[in-house]
Structure 1
Amino acid sequence: MSTTTPHTHESEDHPESLPGGAGTAVRPPRLIHNEATTEIPVHLLFRDEPAPAPEVRRPAVVNRRQGTGEQPRLGRPAPVRRRPELRPDPELQERPARVLPGAAGVLAGLGGVAGCLATSWWAGVLPSLAGDALGLPVHPGAGLGAAQWAAYAGAGTLGLFGFGGLARGRTGRAWVLGLFGRYRGTVRRTGLLWMNPLLRRRRADVRLRHWRSGAVPAADANGVSLRVVVLVVWRVRDTARALLGIEEHETYLRECVEAALARVPVELPGGARSGADAAGDALTRLVAADVAPVGVEVFSVQPVRVEYAPEVAAAMHRRRIAALDAQQRATMLSSVVDSVEDTVTRLTTRGLVELDDYERKVLVRDLTVAFCSARAEPA
């Protein structure tokens, strides 16, 4: 008796089994029967996550391969290089310093002088003539002992601190104060002031200033070498950053102007006025952004003189003369043609002459020669 195994995936109309008795192995049925299939790429069936590729420049979108049904893959975007921002030290920010009116220093100095005189009278070292002149009674004195020396030291210190801390504040100038290398504030007040004499003072000019540069290398929109003289209007806005945040803020300003001229094309004076204004605005914007972190405020950077570089001046001068000459010739030719056309039109429309094509051509030629000769003659 033969044994058959049920097949769930096989059609009952076409059973397939090997003939044989009991114990005969039965061949498993085919899973797909009488079906027309296409070839499935193996790399799509067993594709894992892609391994991290080395840093190689590739397009943003990779084209899909034909016949595989693979969707377009997005590539790694190219890194964007950004200009690093200048971040100044947050501690270097201008703040007002503590000062006293000058009267306090004067009083302290006079008090020290008075203390020294009183100590001298106490010790008996003040001459009798000086005592009579000052109206002090003659005192035999107790001599120079420890108490007298201590009184001298106190009075002298008071006088030195009083007179040594006096300073005069002027309009447009500021004092930058520091103690043992630490910034202690800025004084912008005017008049007689008293500051701690132990503080180091550095004077800063905060007035509106202008700087006229020398001949700085530059280029126009076509890359022709130029020499440009610019006028920079600026001032110190933050004294702490200008004097302590950088070694020389004026030198840094000059370097920023030269760097801006290397990036901005400059037009010659004979060019369009709008181009010159655009160059000045671009220079002002670039220089102001570069020097702002060091406490300098730039109001205007304008080219005041633009000329060709010495190595290209002769060639560009000849080219410019040739261009002007060609422009003048084109203008003169247009004027002559208009004059000839107007003359011939008036003669024919008013019926003064009747011309055929040949006669019209001859008349136009003669009038053109006559007008060109008249315009070419020197005045």
Structure 2
Amino acid sequence: MIRTEATTEIPVHLLFRDGPDPVPGRLRSAVVGRRQGTGEQPRLRRPAVAPARPSVPRVDPELVERPARVLPGGAGALAGLCGAAGCVATSWWAGVLPSSSAAAFGLPAHMGAAGAAGLGPAQWAAYAAAGALGLFGFGGLARGRTGRAWVLGLFGRYRGTVRRTGLLWVNPLLLRRRVDVRLRHWRSGPMQAADRGGVALRTRVLVVWRVRDTARATLGVEDHEAYVRECVEAALLRVPVEAPGDTGGAAGAAQDALTRLVAADAGPVGIEVFAVRPVRVEYAPEVAAAMHRCRIAALDARHRASVLTSVVDSVEDTVTRLTLRGMVELDDRERKVLVKDLTVAFCAGWGEAGP
């Protein structure tokens, strides 16, 4: 404690401590004045800095799947037939349709001199209108399949998603992107992982997932399948995987943790992940030989301990029976010698009967 006439009692450790500022965004000067004869200057406390929050992937909030406007396929087929009929009627009107073809369509062979003057601006306009109607009608016909969807866009803008099945008519001016919305599974190749001790592993995982929001999965990321693979790789580097041969029951915990992490990363882009399950785990090539030797040594030590336990039990049982039945009377020295001889004999017998 420092006690002077000009100051009150101030603990020494408070003169050199920078505590957090209870009021964010403000600087509070420490209540420490200049002490006589010390030359110490007042110190300013630094404001506390709030820890940064982990970043969460964000997607455009307006990019949400919504149904697109489509018509039944019959409407498109009818429009196409009307366009084709208009082309035939225009050809008959211009007089370029042969007599045999006109008779086949049920039209009179000649229209007169005024109608057969040839192709003029009116005929070309009729051709253009009928042809556009036919192309627009037949060009928009599409077949919707179960488990497949179309993401429609126009000039880079999302216009809706088609999940209907059967014959449909979709505006041919819209850009279509086919998306598989069925329940899918993906078996990965060897991926890097580690166990709880930090030993390098190679694992193959089985991922069960599906596209829940087609708009975000298609337009929110460049390739949603590659994004799922990258999420799995990132999760494997954060979650310890059960090493080969371990029986600690950590496989279920690792699967739950992997599924939770991958689902949290893939959810904002419209992908629903149901399970991420390691199906094959092995040591990395650079540590496989060393871990194999360690495992062999551990098995050998376990086997030796088991043999020694069996030998000790057998010796104890033999000596106890001989003593209780009065077959021998042994003092301490003789008992030690008998135990030693029996131990050597039993160990030799276990060694000959062993592998």
Q: TM-score range by the shorter chain?
A: 0.7 to 0.9
Measure the CA separation in 2 of the matches of 1:325 and 1:188. 62
Q: 1:156 to 1:226 in 2, by over 3 A?
A: same
Q: Could you tell me how far 1:186 is from its partner in structure 2?
A: 0.6
Q: Kindly indicate whether the alpha-carbon contact (under 8 Å) linking 2:73 and 2:167 is maintained by their aligned counterparts in 1.
A: yes
Q: 1:304 to 1:355 in 2, by over 3 A?
A: same
Count of aligned positions? 324
Are 2:241 and 1:266 equivalent residues in the alignment? yes
Task: Name the aligned partner's letter for residue 136 of structure 2.
Answer: F
**Match of 1:300, SS?**
strand
**Match of 2:68, SS?**
coil
Measure the CA separation in 2 of the matches of 1:194 and 1:151. 24
Q: Could you tell me how far 1:246 is from its partner in structure 2?
A: 0.7
Are 2:334 and 1:334 equivalent residues in the alignment? no
**1:297 alignment partner in structure 2:** 272
TM-score by length of 1: 0.79
**1:80 alignment partner in structure 2:** 51
Measure the CA separation in 2 of the matches of 1:344 and 1:77. 75
Q: Kindly indicate whether the alpha-carbon contact (under 8 Å) linking 1:57 and 1:78 is maintained by their aligned counterparts in 2.
A: no
Q: Kindly indicate whether the alpha-carbon contact (under 8 Å) linking 1:172 and 1:207 is maintained by their aligned counterparts in 2.
A: yes
Pair member with larger Rg: 1
Task: Name the aligned partner's letter for residue 96 of structure 1.
Answer: P
Q: Could you tell me how far 1:150 is from its partner in structure 2?
A: 2.2
Are 2:147 and 1:172 equivalent residues in the alignment? yes
Q: Which region of structure 1 is more displaced relative to structure 2, 229-238 or 198-207?
A: 229-238
Q: Kindly indicate whether the alpha-carbon contact (under 8 Å) linking 1:122 and 1:139 is maintained by their aligned counterparts in 2.
A: no
Q: Kindly indicate whether the alpha-carbon contact (under 8 Å) linking 1:177 and 1:201 is maintained by their aligned counterparts in 2.
A: yes
2:169 to 189, 194, 199: 194
**1:14 alignment partner in structure 2:** none
Q: Which region of structure 1 is more displaced relative to structure 2, 365-374 or 285-294?
A: 365-374
Q: Could you tell me how far 1:144 is from its partner in structure 2?
A: 2.4
* C-alpha RMSD over aligned residues: 2.7
Gaps of 5+ in 2: 10-15, 23-30, 33-44
**1:288 alignment partner in structure 2:** 263
Which string of whole-angstrom CA distances, capped at 9 and with x for unpartnered residues, describes residues 252-302 of structure 1?
111111111111111223112521111111111111111111111111111
1:249 to 224, 228, 233: 224
2:192 to 217, 228, 252: 217
Matches for 1:364-379 after TM superposition, within 5 Å:
364-377=339-352, 378=354
Measure the CA separation in 2 of the matches of 1:57 and 1:331. 61
2:251 to 260, 276, 282: 276
Measure the CA separation in 1 of the matches of 2:247 and 2:92. 85
Measure the CA separation in 1 of the matches of 2:48 and 2:319. 69
Q: Could you tell me how far 1:60 is from its partner in structure 2?
A: 9.6
Q: Kindly indicate whether the alpha-carbon contact (under 8 Å) linking 2:67 and 2:162 is maintained by their aligned counterparts in 1.
A: yes
Are 2:136 and 1:161 equivalent residues in the alignment? yes
Which string of whole-angstrom CA distances, capped at 9 and with x for unpartnered residues, describes residues 307-342 of structure 1?
222222222211111111111111111121112112
Measure the CA separation in 2 of the matches of 1:362 and 1:315. 42
Q: Could you tell me how far 1:44 is from its partner in structure 2?
A: 4.3
Which string of whole-angstrom CA distances, capped at 9 and with x for unpartnered residues, describes residues 53-72 of structure 1?
9xx976899xx99xxxxxxx
Q: Could you tell me how far 1:147 is from its partner in structure 2?
A: 2.6
Q: Could you tell me how far 1:244 is from its partner in structure 2?
A: 0.6
1:116 to 76, 79, 87: 87
TM superposition outliers: structure 1 runs of 4+ over 3 Å: 38-41, 56-61, 74-78
Measure the CA separation in 1 of the matches of 2:345 and 2:125. 113
Which string of whole-angstrom CA distances, capped at 9 and with x for unpartnered residues, describes residues 161-206 of structure 1?
1100001111111100001110000111111110000000011111
Measure the CA separation in 1 of the matches of 2:56 and 2:8. 47
Measure the CA separation in 2 of the matches of 1:249 and 1:57. 49
**Match of 1:274, SS?**
coil
Gaps of 5+ in 1: 1-37, 46-52, 66-73
Task: Name the aligned partner's letter for residue 345 of structure 2.
Answer: A
Task: Name the aligned partner's letter for residue 97 of structure 2.
Answer: L
TM-score by length of 2: 0.84
Measure the CA separation in 2 of the matches of 1:121 and 1:273. 86
Q: 1:343 to 1:238 in 2, by over 3 A?
A: same
Q: Kindly indicate whether the alpha-carbon contact (under 8 Å) linking 1:284 and 1:301 is maintained by their aligned counterparts in 2.
A: yes
Measure the CA separation in 1 of the matches of 2:245 and 2:5. 70
Q: 1:326 to 1:102 in 2, by over 3 A?
A: same
